[in-house]
């Protein structure tokens, strides 16, 4: 069969070329739009990074029992005041605060507005109060000096000693740091001497008992054994060897 002759004026090829061009224009339009968005975002980020509108001017910190909020606020503003918030790293500020204020066990930093930070302080927990001329000095389980108070906090064990040396304080803190809060709360006083080692007074609520603990090893076992014997009415207890306790 002979092929049909081409039709004069057939514009199918021209139509296809136009469609291809239109599609290319759409693709480029989308690409240019995407590029424009990226450029705009980068421009906004650059403005935010350097803008004084976002410069740190306020730091909110509530007082705790051991840390004064205003002092923390002043410290952070001295170090970082005027710096745009996008340039600040909360983790860095947390480390700086915990280093500058050792009575703080933890500092948590949060953004609180376009020019503000909020810092939440968690105090270290005292485990023993040592009597001194000016009242009582508090120490935590890491032997950090938490400062002096006029009266020992209720439920906190008191070390009865006149100007104890560093070795004595360390021995007491080692002993106290291994006790849970429930066990520490039952030990009202603690003493240290070279002959008996550690000793103290426990209170079960019904019975007070004098206890010889010996060294600082097995502190929890010694306390539980002493409390059990005190609950049975014993008032003179030696648990320096907790597996073989001696009572009055």
DSSP output for 192-219: EETTTEEEEEEE-SS-EEEEEEESSTTH
Asked if residue 140 and residue 207 are part of one domain, the reply reads: yes
Domain of 206 in residue numbering reads as 128-247
Asked if residue 133 and residue 118 are part of one domain, the reply reads: no
Token code pair at residue 125: 């927990």
Query: Per the domain annotation, does 36 fall within a domain?
Result: no
Query: Per the domain annotation, does 4 fall within a domain?
Result: no
Asked if residue 110 and residue 85 are part of one domain, the reply reads: yes
Distance CA 33, CA 31 (A): 5
Q: Beta 236-238 vs 208-214: how paired, if at all?
A: parallel
Q: Looking at the predicted structure, is the pLDDT value of residue 192 above 90?
A: no
Domain count across the chain = 2
Query: Per the domain annotation, does 153 fall within a domain?
Result: yes
Asked if residue 164 and residue 235 are part of one domain, the reply reads: yes
Asked if residue 221 and residue 189 are part of one domain, the reply reads: yes
Name the band, by pLDDT with cuts 50, 70 and 90, for residue 131.
confident
Query: Per the domain annotation, does 143 fall within a domain?
Result: yes
Asked if residue 160 and residue 238 are part of one domain, the reply reads: yes
For residue range 34-52, list pLDDT tens digits in order: 776 776 665 565 554 556 7
Asked if residue 231 and residue 159 are part of one domain, the reply reads: yes
Query: Per the domain annotation, does 146 fall within a domain?
Result: yes
pLDDT score recorded for residue 160: 80
Asked if residue 187 and residue 148 are part of one domain, the reply reads: yes
Domain boundary among 96, 123, 150: 123
pLDDT score recorded for residue 72: 97
Domain boundary among 123, 154, 182: 123
Averaged pLDDT, 185-196: 83
Name the band, by pLDDT with cuts 50, 70 and 90, for residue 168.
confident
């Amino acid at each position: 069969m002979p092929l049909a002759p081409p039709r004069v004026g057939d514009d199918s090829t021209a139509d296809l070329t136009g469609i291809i061009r239109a599609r290319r224009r759409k693709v480029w339009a989308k690409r240019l739009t995407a590029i424009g968005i990226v450029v705009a975002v980068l421009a906004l980020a650059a403005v935010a990074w350097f803008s004084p509108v976002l410069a740190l001017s306020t730091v909110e910190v509530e007082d705790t029992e051991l840390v004064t909020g205003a002092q923390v606020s002043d410290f952070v503003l001295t170090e970082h005041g005027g710096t745009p918030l996008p340039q600040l790293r909360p983790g860095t500020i947390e480390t700086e605060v915990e280093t500058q204020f050792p009575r703080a066990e933890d500092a948590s930093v949060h953004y609180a507005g376009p020019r503000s930070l909020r810092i939440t302080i968690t105090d270290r927990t005292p485990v023993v109060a040592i009597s001194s001329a000016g009242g009582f000095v508090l120490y935590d389980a890491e032997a950090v000096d938490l400062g002096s108070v006029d009266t020992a906090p209720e439920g906190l064990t008191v070390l009865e000693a006149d100007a104890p040396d560093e070795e004595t304080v360390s021995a007491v803190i080692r002993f106290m740091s291994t006790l849970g809060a429930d066990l520490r709360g039952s030990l009202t006083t603690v003493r240290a001497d070279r002959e008996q080692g550690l000793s103290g007074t426990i209170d079960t609520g019904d019975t007070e008992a004098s206890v010889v603990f010996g060294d600082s090893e097995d502190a929890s076992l010694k306390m539980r054994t002493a409390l059990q014997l005190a609950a049975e009415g014993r008032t003179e207890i030696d648990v320096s060897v907790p597996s073989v306790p001696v009572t009055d």
